[in-house]
């Protein structure tokens, strides 16, 4: 017996966060609470593993007066030519659309977290290298639900031991670097506007 299909609800206006995985989901969920950001973060907008899925969610959400912040890593798209092509087409398609903001990081969002602790941008050729360097500052960092669901790690990196403003400044200065970069600072700027 098949379950009943839920009727599609028209999304409300505002800012929606689309994330690649649980790390992005919990990070923005905690930021929303800590900084009183006005945005929507739902599990159904997380765990997007391909750029085709990103495009479907963007199309679905753009039916309303909505700003969409897409947060994802680009390490896989550099190795996978199909995903690289999909990403390039997606970015080209929404290049002039002010309601779609791409906040990609290479190699991973852990590079973004690392910028909260450093005075200059480190070189991280892989996500593993970024995680190892990050553990110099957050020794128990783990990409597990049991770690990520605790708000303390985000509080510590953004306004405790780490510095969110420093990360934004470093990321913006380094945004044209092909080796290691993060555009998550664009999401923070947009969320700060929404307060």
Q: Residue for token digits 């309303």? A: 64
State the pairing for strand pair 66-73/100-106.
Answer: parallel
Q: Find the mean pLDDT for residues 117-129.
A: 94
List pLDDT tens digits, range 39-89.
999 888 888 888 989 999 999 888 878 999 999 999 988 889 998 999 999
Residues across the chain: 195
Q: Which pTM was predicted? A: 0.90
Tokens of 87: 């990403």
Q: Is the pLDDT confidence value at 1 over 80?
A: no
Under DSSP, the state recorded for 149 is T
């Amino acid at each position: 017996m098949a379950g009943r299909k839920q009727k599609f609800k028209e999304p409300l206006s505002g800012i929606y966060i689309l994330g690649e995985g649980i790390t992005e989901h919990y990070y923005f969920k905690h930021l929303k609470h800590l900084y009183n950001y006005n945005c929507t973060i739902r599990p159904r907008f997380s765990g997007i593993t391909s750029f085709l899925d990103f495009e479907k969610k963007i199309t679905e959400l753009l039916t309303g007066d909505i700003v969409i912040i897409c947060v994802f890593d680009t390490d896989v798209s550099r190795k996978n030519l199909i995903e690289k092509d999909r990403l390039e087409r997606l970015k080209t398609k929404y290049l002039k659309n002010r309601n779609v903001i791409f906040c990609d990081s290479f190699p991973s969002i852990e590079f973004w977290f690392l910028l909260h602790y450093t005075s200059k941008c480190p070189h991280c050729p892989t996500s593993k290298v970024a995680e190892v360097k990050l553990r110099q500052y957050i020794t128990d960092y783990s990409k597990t639900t049991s770690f990520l669901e605790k708000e303390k790690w985000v509080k510590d990196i953004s306004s405790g031991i780490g510095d969110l403003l420093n990360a934004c400044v470093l990321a913006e200065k380094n945004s044209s670097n092909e080796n290691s970069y993060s555009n998550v600072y664009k999401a923070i700027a947009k969320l700060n506007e929404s307060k």
